[in-house]
Amino acid sequence: MAERLTVSSIRRMKESGERVAMVTAYDATFARLFDDAGTDMLLVGDTVGMVVQGHTSTLPVTMDHMVYHCQAVVRGSSRALVVCDLPFMSYQVSVEKALENAGRLLAEGLCQAVKLEGGQRSAPAVQRIVEAGIPVVGHIGLTPQSVNALGGFKVQGREAAQATRLIEDARRIEDAGAFAIVLETIPAGLAKSVTEAVSIPTIGIGAGVECDGQVLVCYDMLGLFDTFVAKFVKRYANLGEATREAVRAYVSEVKERTFPGPEHSYT
């Protein structure tokens, strides 16, 4: 069995110029498939609230949900570094609460690192968690937990002042000790500047090709989630349609009494 990648292996990838491939996972079966396919990092994202639970935002996701899905993803994988999201209000109230919840994701969820959203405002929490020996991934740009303050899922950093603030945010998160940082839905040129401004790997989603790595939501890239498809999503498969076709065939065979056949029955 291959050994799990570590925080140091991910940091070295930036130094050597090898791109980091990250994808979200929420259960053991998908985690095993993505691990077999060579994914470097699995993100137990709070997007679970949208693509699995059917909410319109990530806000209703709780710590208990994250622990449950994290355990499943860790059980299903053996090589990828597993990062679990700290959900809404699990780290914003105080740095002590942030540390307690990050610790819970490692101790109960069994992941290797946690991710939290926000630039300067989240730097004290990042620093406290890192000081306790817990690796942290930052997340700036479009931060979905702030969807109500941002006025929707919109491109961030188009204005010069906002772009400057984002570069400063990335530096603050690096200084606080994060080992990588997700850049979500920002112009490709700005993502390139952020990537050059920090020494930790940047992992882009809707942030162009110049980031040190990429992350996609697995339900998006596999064509399973079609409620809303962002411009940055590339569909590598259409499992949504394949699933409908397979279940249509099953329903019709059940109705016609051709399933189960003798080969699926016991004598």
| Residues with active-site annotation | 184
Per-residue three-class SS string for 80-98? CEEEEECCCCCCCCCHHHH
Q: Give the x-and-dash track for 38-57 against ligand KIV (CB under 6 A).
A: -----x-xxx----------
The residue whose Cβ lies closest to ligand KIV is: 45
Amino acid, res. 40: D
Q: What tokens were used for 214?
A: 């990429």
Chain mean position to CA 50:
13
183 binds ligand KIV (CB under 6 A): no
The least CB distance from residue 47 to ligand KIV, in Å, is: 3
Closer residue to ligand KIV in complex, CB, 123/215: 215
Closer residue to ligand KIV in complex, CB, 46/212: 46
Q: Which of 40, 85, 174, 220 binds ligand KIV (CB under 6 A)?
A: 85
Q: What tokens were used for 24?
A: 């979200």
CA angle, residues 158, 162, 168, in degrees to nearest 5: 130
The least CB distance from residue 267 to ligand KIV, in Å, is: 48
The least CB distance from residue 143 to ligand KIV, in Å, is: 9
Q: Give 81's strand partners.
A: 41
Closer residue to ligand KIV in complex, CB, 123/182: 182
Q: Give the x-and-dash track for 5-44 against ligand KIV (CB under 6 A).
A: -------------------x------------------x-
138 binds ligand KIV (CB under 6 A): no
The least CB distance from residue 133 to ligand KIV, in Å, is: 23
Bridge pairing between strands 20-24 and 213-216: parallel
Q: Strand, helix or coil at 113?
A: strand
Kindly tell me the burial class for residue 15, based on how many C-beta atoms sit within 10 Å of its own C-beta (0-12, 13-18, 19 or more): exposed
205 binds ligand KIV (CB under 6 A): yes
Query: Measuring CA to CA, how many Å separate 51 from each of 30, 59, 227?
Result: 14, 13, 9
Of 247, 214, 246, the closest CA to residue 232 belongs to 214
The least CB distance from residue 42 to ligand KIV, in Å, is: 11
156 binds ligand KIV (CB under 6 A): no
122 binds ligand KIV (CB under 6 A): no
Rounded CA-CA distance 220/45 in Å is 13
145 binds ligand KIV (CB under 6 A): no
Bridge pairing between strands 202-205 and 41-44: unpaired
What is the contact surface with ligand KIV in residues (CB under 6 A)? 24, 43, 45-47, 85, 182, 184, 205, 215, 217
